[in-house]
Amino acid sequence: MKNQHKLVLASSSPFRKELLKKLVSDFDAASPDIDESFKPNESPFQLSKRLAYEKANTLSSQFPHHLIIGSDQVAMLDDKQLTKPGSHENCVHQLSLSSGKVITFYTSICVLNSQTGESIVELDVCHVHMKHLSLEQIETYASLDKPYNCAAAFKSEGLGIALVAKIDGEDPNALVGLPLIKLTNILSEMGVEIL
């Protein structure tokens, strides 16, 4: 990789770290501490884009000569946000609500040059059509995959793919939490070629 800038992933997510390793082996990672709640009248895609930028920007003083990668995902079932369930009970509840419906994932990626202040933010939208699921299927899945730290309570990269009827999206990596196609394009715009 031809790169004079050191890359920083503004995330503590093990899923995002694994995704970034597909592109580059040498990067730092740090957890940004920000409020992730909606602002008044903010749409899901606006929230996702703002948080991706804020995550990157929060680390700019800590990493002053870096390209900082921030990403954020907002999962919506109609007008209800599906957050990380945190427990088995919440996981079963979310998946029961999602059965037979479409979940929309808004995943934003921001690359911030902390030296110049330049930033580029892009949004990936993915529609996940869930199968009609029995309570037994949901309970079994939740017990096996334990997706308690995943937005919308399933791991598309794991057993959760068995819950899905169809995925409409540009980049399967975006669903896991880091849109690598958009990231590669942004890095290229900033003078960093992966290959």
The token pair that represents 22 in the structure block:
């597909």
26, 33, 35, 72: which one is catalytic?
Answer: 72
For 26, phi then psi, to 5°, come to -110, 100
Angle CA 117–119–124, to nearest 5:
165
Alpha carbon of 47 to those of 14, 42, 73, 153, 188: distances in Å?
22, 6, 9, 20, 25
Task: Assess whether 79 carries a catalytic annotation.
Answer: no
Q: What gap in Å lies between CA 113 and CA 129, rounded to an integer?
A: 36
The pair of structure tokens assigned to 93 is 């509840």
Q: How far apart are CA 52 and CA 99, in angstroms?
A: 29
Q: Could you give the residue numbers annotated as active site? A: 72
